[in-house]
Structure 1
Amino acid sequence: MPHQDQVTPSEWLEGLPKHLAAAGALFTDTEGRVLVVKPNYRDHWLFVGGQLDEGETPEQACRREVKEEIGLDVELGGLLVIDWTQPIPSRPLPLIVFIFDGGTIDPARLRLDSDELSEFRFLPVEEALPLLSSNGRRRMPTALEAKRTGTTRYLSSGSYPT
């Protein structure tokens, strides 16, 4: 790659690495069960959340997705997990996922967006984990541990970096 002063700013920016980003929230009910949602477009269940739009911060994207998907306008708690996930054939760019503490909510308050989601459940962790993707199965226990300890955790492709 040419030295930075030999290219225009737009050419320099175009040559930088590209990443995707998503944000989600970990919600629990008063019994400590975790919320998982079933999208219409995937085989597995997810945290509430989705991709960041152009110019959005992770917090903004998470709040927007929570409002769109389950009808709640919530103040998010702390950042629980940052997960850098390697590219895969169906997604040739790395993905950075931010998981926030959504707090404790009453299931009766949820209003599911049926255009995007077919179902939601509050489940004990051991019942929720098998429904999630492999990345979700790694993120959930880490998010719960981060919530318990008050310490944000970093994952790299779903595992702690060496």
Structure 2
Amino acid sequence: MTDPADNFATPRLAAGALFVRDNALLLVRKTYGNGWDIPGGYVDRGESPAAACEREVREELGLNRTVRRLLVHDWAPNESEGDKVLYVFDCGDLGDDERRIRLDGIELAETNWVTVDRLGEYVVPRLERRLTQAHHAYTTGVTLNLEHGQNRK
């Protein structure tokens, strides 16, 4: 007899931090993988997505930031990784903290402010869609439920 739990989804969870300055987003260039992304990473077992976002910002940028609110929840399975749910959080204006960013040089190589209309030059299409929607959520005060980076209406 098959256990019904064998059919339950067990997605990998990831959380990212959105920092906005005018119409630009803070991107980080990773030393591995797809290159540019927002600060963030996978959620550890027993950890909430918001706590994971704060931990990743601490580890990657050397900053203690508190998540303000959820901007997007994105169901985005990836053929190579299976089921995946990504959360993007508003982590506020960096202000003076920008000068305190400390990259370890092992995981992250550099940061850059990229305007929303130029995201496609830096990130893969699915991430461009997600970040564009996250910026929309940030500017309009809504939270969006996405699938593959597109608004699920």
Aligned counterpart for 1:114 among listed residues 90, 98, 105? 105
Please tell me whether Structure 1 or Structure 2 has the larger radius of gyration of its CA atoms.
Answer: 1
Q: Is the 8 A contact 2:133 2:149 kept in 1?
A: no
Question: Please, what TM-score do these two structures have when normalized by structure 1?
Answer: 0.85
Show the counterpart of 2:19.
27
Show the counterpart of 2:146.
155
Task: State the secondary structure of the residue aligned to 1:104.
Answer: coil
Mapping of residues 72-87 of structure 1, within 5 Å: 72-87=63-78
Q: 1:33-76, CA deviations, whole angstroms, 9 ceiling, x for partnerless residues?
A: 21000111123310110000011000110000000000111111
**For residues 125 and 114 of structure 2, what CA distance do their matches in structure 1 show?**
18
**For residues 149 and 44 of structure 1, what CA distance do their matches in structure 2 show?**
29
The AA in structure 2 aligned to 1:140 is L
After superposition, the Cα gap between the structure-2 partners of 1:42 and 1:13, relative to the gap in structure 1 and judged at 3 Å, is same
RMSD over aligned Cα atoms: 1.8
**For residues 15 and 38 of structure 1, what CA distance do their matches in structure 2 show?**
37
**For residues 131 and 77 of structure 2, what CA distance do their matches in structure 1 show?**
18
What count of residue pairs does the alignment treat as equivalent?
151
Question: Please, what TM-score do these two structures have when normalized by structure 2?
Answer: 0.89
Show the counterpart of 1:105.
94
